[in-house]
Amino acid sequence: MRLVRIATSEAVPLEDGFLWSDEFEWKPIEQKQERAIDGTLIVQEGKKKSGRPITLQPADQEMGWIKLKHLKTLYEWSLLQEQFQLEFEWPHDTRQFNVIFNHEAGALEAKPVKNIPAVSEDDYYNVTMRFTELDNAN
């Protein structure tokens, strides 16, 4: 998996240990039901065009690690207010998503794997990343 900055084609590798924790919680159909005065059911519904949350979090404490140097890049990118391409690179899943960082939900959470301050740019952090999928037309 990797995150690509669309404006520059730079990429940050993301290891395979991330779980898309809210993948099946997205409800693409918005629906409102109410009753008319005579009791008839009135249903209004429409399909959402974008806004699906994508939360990538470690499957467990031994997974979902990112080197500090890549975490710093992700943090800098999260401040750019740009769109990114999230690319899955598994044999069974090669989906791509046009995303922005979801600041409303807390775009990034990170803590050192060893629970001590980093001493190297190659030290690992457990990271949770929150994105919002956009329609490609946005």
Find all residues with CB under 8 Å of 36, minimum gap 6, and list them: 42
| pLDDT for position 64 | 87
| pLDDT for position 137 | 55
| pLDDT for position 67 | 94
Asked if pLDDT for residue 48 goes beyond 80, the answer is: yes
- Cβ contact 86:54 at 8 Å: yes
| pLDDT for position 78 | 96
Asked if pLDDT for residue 138 goes beyond 60, the answer is: no
pLDDT in tens, 19-34: 999 999 999 999 999 9
CA 54 to chain centre: 3
| pLDDT for position 135 | 84
3-class secondary-structure state, position 80: coil
For residues 68 and 116, what is the distance between their CA atoms, to the nearest angstrom? Answer: 13
Asked if pLDDT for residue 55 goes beyond 70, the answer is: yes
Asked if pLDDT for residue 42 goes beyond 90, the answer is: yes
In the chain, the percentage of residues whose pLDDT exceeds 70 is: 98
Mean pLDDT of the chain: 93
Q: Which of 26-35, 74-83, 108-117 has the lowest mean pLDDT?
A: 108-117
For residues 107 and 101, what is the distance between their CA atoms, to the nearest angstrom? Answer: 5
